Copies of this chain bind each other. A is one copy, B any other.
Amino acid sequence: MYYIGVDIGGTGVKAGIVDENGHILYKESIRTGAERPYSEVIVDIAGLCQKIIDGMHLSIDQISAIGVGVPGICDPKTGVIPFCTNLGWHEVPFIADMHKYFPGIPVFVDNDATVAGLAESVAGVSAGTQSSVFITLGTGVGGSIVINGRPYSGSHGVGSEIGHMVIRMDGEPCTCGKKGCFERYASATAIIREARRALPDHPESMIAELCENNPDKIEARTVFDAAKEKDPLAVRLFNNYVKALAHGIVNVINTIDPEIIVLGGGVSNAGEFLLEAVREAVKPFIFYKTQPYATIQLAQLGSDAGVIGAAMLGKQ
């Protein structure tokens, strides 16, 4: 039997046929066209699912389930997606609509970060663990909790929003309406913001050279590259970033205490340079000093995680 995984993003929709071990056997993608009404987008999504079934010469009864990751949440009781801001969806009956195209096939929907974390716990770095927390460090900060091998989104489906845990009360204003959310300090956006703020006072910094004195060209990588070369400003920005990331990670350890914490998203491409610094920064903050605690690792599945994890929703 096979599983279909669908990863719906603001710009593209990816779908794949996935085996029970979380390996993608066949994959296609289309533009989301999120500027169109939901009623048109869902037709394309269903069409994409049919296309990969046909593309692998499968019959519909070889598909165990369809799982879908969305940049939002889905009410587990009603199958309604209350809103996906990026897609302009509001109160859409997604699961019922998918059933019109694929009657008799179970359809599952969950948050895209949740789904990426599930993928790592089935076929990635956290495979074999029973509990894990996946933290996506990208434009924002997403979170995914797996407990007892299953994705955990809480009682109302609003949990695992690790990025909106406040780590600095009265700190940087967040899009969510609060101030000082983890996302404001641990995202790529945060690194870029801090570099742009500091650069005017540090024209000598290697960051200025790397971005050709154009702050609009600063990326998270720019800061990391300069920090690797021991540029003083970049090292300071990097250390501040690591400190904030470590605080969020320690909050996860002190509350959820998973077996493993997985760092994914664009920022995690900084690799071992970032990972080693984060592990060192976490160590002194551990509450029970002599007890074991979560290992911290980098994600392995990259951009396939969305399709794999969505498919694995159907296996749970």
Q: List residues of A whose CB falls within 8 A of some B CB.
A: 73, 75, 82-83, 130-131, 143, 145, 147, 152-162, 164-171, 176-178, 180, 185, 243-244, 247, 250-259, 284-285, 287-288, 290-294
Which residues of chain B are near A73, meaning CB under 8 Å?
288, 291
B82, B156, B177, B257: which contacts A159 (Cβ < 8 A)? B257
Contact between A255 and B254 (Cβ–Cβ < 8 Å)? no
Q: If the complex has contacts A82-B291, A168-B168, A288-B73, are A154 and B256 also in contact, measured as CB distance less than 8 A?
A: yes
**In the complex the two chains form, is A169's CB within 8 Å of B254's CB?**
no
Identify which of B82, B171, B257 contacts A290 (C-beta below 8 A): B82
Known: A73-B291, A250-B166, A251-B165. A155 touches B258 (CB 8 A): yes
Contact A255/B291 with A154-B131, A169-B167, A247-B166 known, Cβ cut-off 8 Å: no
- Most chain B C-beta atoms within 10 Å of own C-beta, residue among A143, A252, A287: A287
CB neighbours of A288 from chain B (8 A): 73, 82, 158
A148 to B243, CA, bound (A): 34
User: What is the distance, in angstroms, from A311's C-beta to the closest C-beta of chain B?
Assistant: 24
Q: Is the CB of B155 within 8 A of A257?
A: yes
Main DSSP-derived SS at the A contact region: loop
Residues of B within 8 A of A145 (CB): 255
**Which residues of the other chain, B, contact A294 by a CB distance below 8 angstroms?**
155-156
Contact sample, A vs B, 29 pairs, CB 8 Å cutoff: A73-B288, A73-B291, A75-B291, A82-B288, A130-B155, A131-B154, A143-B255, A145-B255, A147-B152, A153-B257, A154-B258, A155-B257, A156-B257, A156-B291, A156-B292, A156-B293, A158-B254, A158-B293, A160-B257, A161-B255, A161-B287, A162-B255, A164-B287, A166-B250, A166-B251, A167-B168, A169-B171, A169-B244, A176-B287
Q: Is the CB of A256 within 8 A of B255?
A: yes
Cβ contacts under 8 Å, A256 to chain B: 154, 159, 255-256
3 tightest A-B contacts by CB? Answer: A154-B257, A159-B257, A161-B254
Q: Which residues of B contact A158 (CB under 8 A)?
A: 253-254, 257, 287-288, 291, 293
A176 / chain B contacts, CB cutoff of 8 Å? 287
Q: Nearest chain B CB to A135's CB is how many angstroms away?
A: 11
Q: A156-B291, A165-B254 are in contact. List 16 more A-B contacts (CB 8 A).
A: A82-B291, A145-B255, A147-B152, A156-B257, A156-B259, A158-B254, A159-B255, A159-B257, A160-B255, A165-B165, A165-B255, A166-B247, A166-B250, A169-B185, A169-B243, A255-B255
